[in-house]
């Protein structure tokens, strides 16, 4: 589903050229559950943004469902994001003036789907996330765990294939953090490809495939290790 | 994004930022109001003047004593003359070839009484031709009789309001009135007509010109209305009249002749100046509103950076982001324009109540035009912020550290 070939992303910081991603190769199959860990500045977030088509590579190619994305314009990227990708952020990124329901509905509105067709889709997501009695609340009336559930609802309402979560539990206490990660895993069980960027070893260990990043490279990939350990 | 969802999305935004929205609405409303109000007043004045002079035909000249030296501007409505215009002058004019009728006029205020009731009324001395030239119709009785200019007869025609005030419900025809030292028999009542040339004919009393000369103890005529047989020789007839008067007044050219055209063109000048003033005021207030819109939108873009980033992450293309900002400006402009038009209509309604004779109304083109100008201004000034928002890189926008966390 996803293939990165020699992907580079470099920033100019003063005179220095910083390689946030350094000739990265990565393949992700449909339905996988990956965690990406590594120290700050190792390129985790850049990788996530790259996979989410929010950032453009300096060199290399990113294939999403057999589509080469590096030469696509902003419009085409937006369409791909809308069709295939859902985001969950550490700080939720809910729109404060909209209710929980309206926040979840937003991607459907932006996609120009008619109100009649939106209603059942949103209802289904709200029921699925057990937010029925919170649907008409504004984000500031919700707990952190509830806010993140609303954000997840917004991420999955368009039925994306890929769900990208950037420190989804970073702002949550352990109980609601656990609920959120379990929810994401349930979605993965239902078939969505899940990639979680985290600092938390416990959460990273839950993934079936763990990536460790250092200095813009993948230092270890549990998938390859398994293969190489079998090989040795 | 569907138009209806776009509007709903923007309305929530506008509602949340009430103060900002109110400020913008006020700025737009004031500029639109200024345009509509001034156009309404200008148009009212124009219609008023046109209505006044349409009472006179195009083939009617008005002659005033006195000569205005400067050219252009409004001709003097109350000229000062060294030499009076006399009835004999009027008679001489009436004998000219292209002249079909001449109506001399002496006018002034005079105490009019009937029995115990008395009031000051606008008293005019003229002749039968005056009724035709001014298109005065008689509701009851008849107009002044055909008399030689210098012959007096103790009869009068009165306006409907004056009749009511002096006679109440009783019949007035054939009754006697006292005006100054003289008595007049009422032979006609004018049809209700309203003002003309600044006189309320409903409150007027018309007597033969010779009687008026005696009443006011005055030879000189206030005006002479001259009706021409045809429009063709208007210029030539005008010159012949002036030449005739010059000859009669010992070589001195001391009369002014007004035509409908000259008066209208003078008013046209005033109205054009007014239009320029409207354009100026509208331009300045629109500029102010536009800059306000731009500033507020720029602030909104930087405040909503994270939201823009989010919209982009959710697959919202750049042009939809731009559309969100532009349509917000558009909604503000249209609502502001509506409020402005509403206020100006309300004010003009009050003005019509205060001055019923002047038809203050804003023409439709001014209303649509001002709304259009407001919208175009809003769009123009919102274009820069909208483009800034649309061109933001989604990553940078999402990571904006300035904004608070939601």
Residue A102 confidence (pLDDT) above 60: yes
Of residues A28 and B287, more confidence is placed in A28
| Domain range annotation of chain A | 31-53+74-231
Whether the CB of B2 is below 8 Å from some CB of chain A: the reply is yes
Whether the CB of B396 is below 8 Å from some CB of chain A: the reply is no
Closest by Cα among B136, B37, B42 to B358:
B42
Distance CA B283, CA A69 (A): 48
Q: Between β-strands B155-158 and B182-190, what pairing exists: parallel, antiparallel or unpaired? A: parallel
Give the model's pLDDT for residue A232: 39
Distance CA B75, CA B65 (A): 11
- Examine residue B125 and state whether it is found in any structural domain, yes or no: yes
Q: Cβ B393–A52 below 8 Å, yes or no?
A: no
| CA B93 to chain CA centroid, nearest Å | 34
Give the model's pLDDT for residue B9: 87
Same domain, B272 and B368: yes
The residue out of B253, B286, B319 marking a domain boundary is B253
Mean local confidence (pLDDT), A187-206 = 92
- In terms of phi and psi (left: phi > 0; alpha: psi -120 to 50; beta: otherwise), the region of A92 is left
Give the model's pLDDT for residue B372: 92
State the count of interchain CB pairs (< 8 A) between A and B: 78
What's the domain count of chain B?
A: 2
β partners of residue B141: B188
Same domain, B310 and B235: no
Give the model's pLDDT for residue B194: 57
DSSP H/E element including B35: helix B18-54
Same domain, B96 and B236: yes
Distance CA A178, CA A144 (A): 12
Same domain, B234 and B310: no
Give the model's pLDDT for residue B402: 47
Predicted complex ipTM? 0.88
Give the model's pLDDT for residue B175: 92
Residues of chain B with confidence (pLDDT) below 50: 70-73, 79, 81, 402-406
CA atoms within 13 A on the CB side of B104: 28
The residue out of B198, B231, B253 marking a domain boundary is B253
**Cβ-based neighbours of A129, under 8 Å, separated by 6 or more:** A149, A150, A152, A153, A183
- Examine residue B377 and state whether it is found in any structural domain, yes or no: yes
How does the average pLDDT of chain A come out, rounded? 90
For residue B240, the enclosing domain spans 83-253
Give the model's pLDDT for residue B82: 63
Q: Cβ B2–A87 below 8 Å, yes or no?
A: no
Q: Give which of A54, A73, A153 to mutate to test B binding, by max B Cβ within 10 Å.
A: A54
Q: What is the CATH number of domain A31-53+74-231?
A: 3.40.50.300
Same domain, B316 and B224: no
Phi then psi dihedrals of residue A138, to 5 deg: -80, 155
Set of chain A residues whose Cβ sits within 8 Å of the Cβ of B1:
109-112
Same domain, B299 and B223: no
Same domain, B298 and B160: no
Same domain, B100 and B230: yes
Mean local confidence (pLDDT), A122-148 = 92
Give the model's pLDDT for residue B406: 39
Set of chain A residues whose Cβ sits within 8 Å of the Cβ of B2:
109, 112, 114
**Cβ-based neighbours of B119, under 8 Å, separated by 6 or more:** B111, B112, B113, B162, B165, B166
3-class secondary-structure state, position A5: strand
DSSP H/E element including A18: strand A16-28
Give the model's pLDDT for residue A231: 39
The residue out of B228, B253, B278 marking a domain boundary is B253
For the record, the structure tokens of A45 come out as: 């977030």
Give the model's pLDDT for residue B209: 93
Give the model's pLDDT for residue B403: 44
- Examine residue B345 and state whether it is found in any structural domain, yes or no: yes
Q: H helices then E strands: how many in chain A?
A: 8, 10
Give the model's pLDDT for residue B77: 52
Residue B22: exposure state from Cβ atoms within 10 A (0-12, 13-18, ≥19): exposed
Same domain, B164 and B284: no
Helix B260-303, helix B318-354: angle, nearest 10: 140
Give the model's pLDDT for residue B272: 79
Distance CA A214, CA A22 (A): 10
Buried b (16+ CB within 10 A) or exposed e, B200-225: bbbbbbbbbbbbbbebbeeeebbbbb
For the record, the structure tokens of B202 come out as: 């409903």
- Examine residue B58 and state whether it is found in any structural domain, yes or no: no
Same domain, B317 and B209: no
Distance CA A64, CA B178 (A): 106
Give the model's pLDDT for residue A121: 94
Same domain, B188 and B321: no
pLDDT of B96-126, one tens digit each?
888 889 999 998 888 999 988 888 888 999 9
Same domain, B232 and B344: no
Q: Give which of B7, B20, B21, B313 to mutate to test A binding, by max A Cβ within 10 Å.
A: B313
């Amino acid at each position: 589903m996803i293939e990165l070939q020699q992907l580079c992303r470099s920033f100019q910081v003063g005179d220095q050229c910083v390689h946030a991603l350094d000739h990265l190769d990565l393949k992700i199959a449909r339905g996988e559950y990956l965690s990406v860990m590594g120290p700050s500045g190792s390129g985790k977030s850049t990788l996530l943004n790259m996979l989410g088509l929010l950032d453009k590579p300096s060199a290399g190619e990113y294939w999403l469902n057999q589509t080469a994305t590096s030469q696509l314009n902003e419009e085409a990227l937006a369409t791909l994001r809308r069709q295939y990708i859902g985001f969950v952020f550490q700080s939720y990124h809910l729109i404060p003036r909209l209710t929980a329901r309206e926040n979840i509905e937003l991607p459907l509105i932006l996609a120009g789907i008619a109100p009649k067709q939106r209603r059942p889709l949103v209802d289904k997501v709200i029921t699925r996330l057990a937010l029925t009695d919170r649907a008409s609340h504004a984000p500031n009336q919700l707990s952190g765990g509830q806010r993140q559930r609303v954000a997840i609802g917004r991420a999955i309402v368009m039925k994306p294939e890929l769900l990208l979560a950037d420190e989804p539990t970073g702002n949550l206490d352990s109980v609601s953090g656990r609920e959120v990660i379990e929810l994401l895993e349930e979605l993965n069980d239902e078939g969505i490809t899940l990639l979680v960027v985290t600092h938390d070893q416990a959460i990273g260990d839950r993934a079936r495939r763990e990536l460790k990043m250092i200095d813009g490279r993948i230092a270890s990939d549990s998938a390859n290790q398994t293969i190489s350990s079998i090989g040795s | 994004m569907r138009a209806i969802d776009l509007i709903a999305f923007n309305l929530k935004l506008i509602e949340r930022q009430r103060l900002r929205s109110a400020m913008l609405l006020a700025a737009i409303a004031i500029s639109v109001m200024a345009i509509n109000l001034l156009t309404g007043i200008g148009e009212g004045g124009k219609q008023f003047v046109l209505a006044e002079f349409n009472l006179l035909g195009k083939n009617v000249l008005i002659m005033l004593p006195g000569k205005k030296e400067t050219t252009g501007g409004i001709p003097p409505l109350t000229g000062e003359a060294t030499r009076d215009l006399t009835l004999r002058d009027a008679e001489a004019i009436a004998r000219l070839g292209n002249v079909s009728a001449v109506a001399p006029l002496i006018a002034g205020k005079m105490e009019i009484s009937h029995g115990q009731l008395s009031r000051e009324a606008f008293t005019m001395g003229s002749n039968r031709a005056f009724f035709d030239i001014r298109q005065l119709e008689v509701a009851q009785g008849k107009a002044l009789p055909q008399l030689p200019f210098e012959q007096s007869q103790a009869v009068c025609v009165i306006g409907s309001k004056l009749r009511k005030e002096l006679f109440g419900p009783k019949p007035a025809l054939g009754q006697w009135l006292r005006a100054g030292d003289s008595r007049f028999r009422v032979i006609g009542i004018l049809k209700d007509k309203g003002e003309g040339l600044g006189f309320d004919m409903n409150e007027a009393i018309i007597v033969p010109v010779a009687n008026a000369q005696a009443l006011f103890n005055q030879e000189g005529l206030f005006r002479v209305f001259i009706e021409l047989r045809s429009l063709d020789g208007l210029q030539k007839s005008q010159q012949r009249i002036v030449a005739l008067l010059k000859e009669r007044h010992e070589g001195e050219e001391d009369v002014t002749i007004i035509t409908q055209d000259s008066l209208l063109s003078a008013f046209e000048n005033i109205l054009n100046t007014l239009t320029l003033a409207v354009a100026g005021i509208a331009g300045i207030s629109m500029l102010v509103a536009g800059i306000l819109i731009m500033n507020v939108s720029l602030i909104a873009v930087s405040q909503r950076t994270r939201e823009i980033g989010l919209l982009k992450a959710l697959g919202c293309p750049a042009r939809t982001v731009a559309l969100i900002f532009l349509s917000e400006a558009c909604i503000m402009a249209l609502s502001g324009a509506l409020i402005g038009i509403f206020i100006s209509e309300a004010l003009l309604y009050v003005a019509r109540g205060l001055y019923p004779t002047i038809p203050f109304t804003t023409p439709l083109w001014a209303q649509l035009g001002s709304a259009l100008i407001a919208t175009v201004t809003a769009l123009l000034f919102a274009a820069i912020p909208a483009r800034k928002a649309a061109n933001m890189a989604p990553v940078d926008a999402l990571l904006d550290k300035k904004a608070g966390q939601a």
